[in-house]
A = this chain, B = another copy of it.
Amino acid sequence: MHLHGYQGLRADLVVNELGITKGAYYHYFSGKQELGYSIVDEFIAPEQLQFWGALNGYFGHPIEGIVERLKALRTELKNDYFMTGSELNNLIQEMSPLDEGFRARLQRILEGMRLAIQGAIERGQKSRLVKADANAEEIALFVMANLLGAFSLAKAFQDRKFFDRCIEQMIGYLRGFKGQ
């Protein structure tokens, strides 16, 4: 699914790669849609929410907390990951206009990301570590858009370098909101 998309996912290939049969497959899943939903619910969503939820447990400058998460993406994600790109971004592009079940799930994930980032910025503002006139929600959305777009660029060029460069630029942007 990561490589071919949900629509390109072939039931036969799934059962072959898993070494199971169609009997087992359809015993646990009513069909392709439920399989797709399960992949989002049980893998993509928990992974994303855990990754960005870590911001809530970060001690230190909240802006540096976000920066640390961005850098974590650079170190944790293997080179191959950037060839196929972010599962989240891929599914958004493919399924948002086609299947409301997918869309609602993906929107939830994005909202979780936004709340985590926005919360960090707001905590920084309360402790006067972040400029008071910064709009936390707008910045969070901006960072998320940038992240999704950085994955797109790296995928188009088939070169993670473009992701890294965008991240560096974003880090500079974020640090501009520090102090007063």
| Residues in A lying within 8 Å of B, measured CB to CB | 3-5, 7-8, 83-85, 89-90, 92-94, 96-98, 103, 106-107, 110, 138-139, 141-142, 144-150, 152-153, 155-158, 162, 165-166, 168-170, 173, 176
Contact B152 A169 (CB under 8 A): no
Q: Which residues of B contact A144 (CB under 8 A)?
A: 149, 153
User: How far, in whole Å, are A4 and B97 apart by their CA atoms in the complex?
Assistant: 9
Contact A94 B94 (CB under 8 A): yes
Shortest beta-carbon distance from A138 to chain B in Å: 5
Return the contact of A149 from the options B3, B4, B146, B168 (Cβ within 8 A).
Answer: B146
Q: Which residues of B contact A7 (CB under 8 A)?
A: 4-5, 7-8
